[in-house]
Structure 1
Amino acid sequence: MSEENNNLGDDLKKGAEEALDAAKETANEFAEEAKETFNEVTGENKKVLAGILGILFGSLGIHKFVLGYNKEGIIQLIISVVTCGAGGIVGLIEGIIYLTKSDDEFYQTYQVGKKPWF
């Protein structure tokens, strides 16, 4: 009986390891596809994406990360945590500004000129 329990335990351990490997592989594939998709987003698409994310999730700074402003995104997140979410108004305002700019003006200001705030 003890021998059967050991074999069962080994089988369960082996199955769990295989499931973990499969999950890791799937996650890596998803991450690679997401990177490819994100890198294809340019111009007007990036403007709309950043604007909507700024309006909906401005306090998290996601719109900053979309535009490649990692340091500013982290600052936005910290400000929102410190102010209990009140700092999210900055993201809301920026999202509205992004969407009201022309495509060329947005591109020149935030992608070429790298203006991180407002």
Structure 2
Amino acid sequence: MKNKLAAALLAIFLGDFGAHKFYLGRPGMGVLYLLFFWTGIPAVIGVIEGILYLLQSDKDFQEKYSKH
């Protein structure tokens, strides 16, 4: 079970390095963020994703990111 707040904070503060993607079990996307962190684009996307994680209901977040 993944923690929504932890994922959101990782996305907002370390999103440029893809930390939230690694946390959520998506290492391929995490590596992609690492490859392009120097552009600043992953940082902007990370903040947006962090906000979206916080706006999702707990049920929807768990259905999407928890392994069954």
TM-score by length of structure 1 reads 0.52
Q: Which position in structure 2 is the counterpart of 1:64?
A: 21
Structure 1, unaligned runs of 5 or more: 1-41, 113-118
Higher relative contact order (CA 8 A, sep 6+): 2
| C-alpha displacement of 1:63 | 0.5
Q: Which position in structure 2 is the counterpart of 1:103?
A: 58
1:32-69 deviation per Cα after TM superposition (whole angstroms, max 9, x unaligned): xxxxxxxxxx24xx211010110111101000111111
Counterpart-to-counterpart distance in 1, 2:61 and 2:13: 19
TM-score by length of structure 2 reads 0.86
Counterpart-to-counterpart distance in 2, 1:91 and 1:53: 8
Q: Which position in structure 1 is the counterpart of 2:49?
A: 94
| C-alpha displacement of 1:110 | 2.6
| C-alpha displacement of 1:109 | 2.0
> Does residue 77 of structure 1 match 2:34?
yes
Aligned length: 67
Counterpart-to-counterpart distance in 1, 2:13 and 2:25: 18
* Structure showing greater Rg: 1
Write the letter of the residue equivalent to 1:88.
A
RMSD (Å), alpha carbons:
1.4
Aligned sequence identity (%): 39
